[in-house]
Amino acid sequence: MKGALSELPDGWFHRPLKFVASYNDEVLSEKTDPEEEIEYIEISDVSLTEGVKRTSNMEFDGAPSRARRVVRSNDILISTVRTYLKAISNVSDAPHNLIASTGFCVVRPSKKVDPKFLGWVAKSEPFVGEVVSRSVGVSYPAINAGDLVGIDVPVPPIEIQEKIAAFLDEKTAQIDGLIEKKRALLERLSEKRQALITQAVTKGLNPNAPMKDSGIDWLGQVPQHWEVKPLKFLGRFQNGISIGGDSFGSGYPFVSYGDVYNNLSLPKEGSGLVESSKKDRALYSVEGGDVFFTRTSETVEEIAISSVCVETIPDAVFAGFIIRCRPYPDVLDVGFAKYCFRNKSLRSYFVKEMNLVTRASLGQTLLGNLPVALPPMETQKEIATYLDAKFADLEEVETNAENSVRLLSEYRAALISSAVAGKLDGLQ
């Protein structure tokens, strides 16, 4: 970050974060009373723009083993795993029992800095960019806490810090209000999409079709002429490639965890490159009709998120944190699969069946036992065509709202970065 701070105003300095703050000062003891209640913060509970969105109340005995970082008022949470998520937030008023995942670096500002100002610095683009660029790993990037606190931060006089923090508190609140309205619209559109998917892939398109009990609580009734089969009868499975980090950056196409998690259907090319062998490219190939599922994450909610490959990506391989299901011939239409496995009601199956230790992990056996409501092939194609058309109708409204959020977010980010670097008139 030093390069970004080379032209600081007079009286400002840049210092490594560890010179103005301590980190990971307190750890919850293993001898804690098993019945003691904690408020737990997971990586997915924190957002760069929304801060700490929620906490989970639980007893120590039932908490994940990663629930160990003690958080106090004025601490700053910075995620050290999956850093692309940019889970960063300052904590202004922490309850006495607030505990964060060990996936966070808990930064505790010293008396040399205003906590709110340092929180804004941690959320500025130059700092976040340094965290991401120093992270190691392609599928699951992470940074060592010791490396994180070595990043330089701007340190103006304390009265300027307080002035900048107050300014950003006010201005970002105004911007956030506008963003929230657009996000509320997007949330309604997302709910509508989910409702359309669930209805179509579990009940079909004919409201008058005779129904039968599927025998599965979360699935309920399905059309009488549909079959309900475990996924293992529809295709075969393969975990992704395991390869050293120095193999990435050149070579052949690579399908990442993010490519699957963020898309109903895979991009036409993978998001990265990897030096894969001919044998690798045969075993971990990415062919049209393949269905990919996220295999491991911090939470069950991010497990078994699916994406389909519409067209073969030549010479591509896929990440180790992904499972591929390659359907048997003529059993699963790729368009239907695109929506079928994004049906939100599937969460009930995985939440019930999955065991959590330090991370959620999906095995081939569990995925293979997933019940699938399977209509005839012709009906699968009709459902896919119907949903494609419905989603197209929603796309223009959604695109406009997303563009508004993007522009407002870019302005917000630029405002923060300029303010903490002393580039706004009246704040130096």
pLDDT in the model for residue 302: 80
> Do residues 60 and 28 lie in contact, with contact meaning Cβ atoms separated by under 8 Å?
yes
Tell me which residue range forms the domain holding 21: 3-154
Same domain? 344 vs 382: no
Beta-strand pair 248-255/317-318: parallel
pLDDT in the model for residue 344: 87
Q: Which of 154, 178, 208 is the last residue of a domain?
A: 154
Give exposure, 200-234, as e/b (b: 16+ Cβ within 10 Å): bbbbbeeeeeeeeebeeeebeebbeebeeeebbeb
Say if 224 falls within a structural domain: no
Same domain? 176 vs 272: no
> Do residues 98 and 397 lie in contact, with contact meaning Cβ atoms separated by under 8 Å?
no
Low-confidence ranges of the chain (pLDDT < 50): 3-5, 357-358
Say if 98 falls within a structural domain: yes
Query: To 5 degrees, how large is the angle CA 56–CA 39–CA 17?
Result: 110
Same domain? 146 vs 161: no
The closest of 116, 25, 21, 123 to 71, measured between CA atoms, is 25
Same domain? 22 vs 165: no
Say if 205 falls within a structural domain: no
User: Domain of 10: which CATH number?
Assistant: 3.90.220.20
- Residue 16 pairs in a beta bridge with 152
pLDDT tens, 324-342?
999 999 999 999 999 999 9
pLDDT in the model for residue 137: 84
Q: How many domains does the chain have?
A: 3
Say if 215 falls within a structural domain: no
pLDDT tens, 212-264?
999 999 999 999 999 999 999 999 999 999 988 788 989 999 999 999 999 99
pLDDT in the model for residue 300: 72
pLDDT in the model for residue 173: 95
Same domain? 68 vs 90: yes
Say if 353 falls within a structural domain: yes
Per the listing, tokens 């030093």 go with 2
The closest of 131, 17, 47 to 409, measured between CA atoms, is 47
What is the amino acid identity at position 337?
A
Same domain? 418 vs 306: no
Same domain? 281 vs 338: yes
Q: Which of 103, 138, 154 is the last residue of a domain?
A: 154
Say if 87 falls within a structural domain: yes
CB hemisphere CA count around 183 (13 angstroms): 13
Say if 210 falls within a structural domain: no
Same domain? 9 vs 148: yes
Say if 103 falls within a structural domain: yes
Q: Which of 154, 171, 203 is the last residue of a domain?
A: 154
Same domain? 144 vs 75: yes
Same domain? 135 vs 166: no
Same domain? 100 vs 143: yes
Kindly report the pTM of this predicted structure. 0.64
pLDDT in the model for residue 357: 47
Own/partner pairs, 345-352, CB within 8 angstroms, 24+ separation: 345/198, 345/202, 345/218, 345/219, 346/218, 346/304, 346/370, 347/300, 347/301, 348/217, 348/218, 349/218, 350/300, 350/303, 350/304, 351/300, 351/301
pLDDT in the model for residue 4: 45
Same domain? 278 vs 350: yes
Say how far apart CA 252 and CA 250 lie, in whole Å. Answer: 7
Give exposure, 369-393, as e/b (b: 16+ Cβ within 10 Å): ebbbbbbeeebbebbbebbeeebee
> Do residues 264 and 284 lie in contact, with contact meaning Cβ atoms separated by under 8 Å?
no
Say how far apart CA 408 and CA 415 lie, in whole Å. Answer: 10
The closest of 404, 400, 229 to 325, measured between CA atoms, is 229
The closest of 53, 98, 44, 49 to 73, measured between CA atoms, is 98
Say how far apart CA 344 and CA 320 lie, in whole Å. Answer: 24
Say how far apart CA 395 and CA 206 lie, in whole Å. Answer: 25
> Do residues 100 and 69 lie in contact, with contact meaning Cβ atoms separated by under 8 Å?
yes
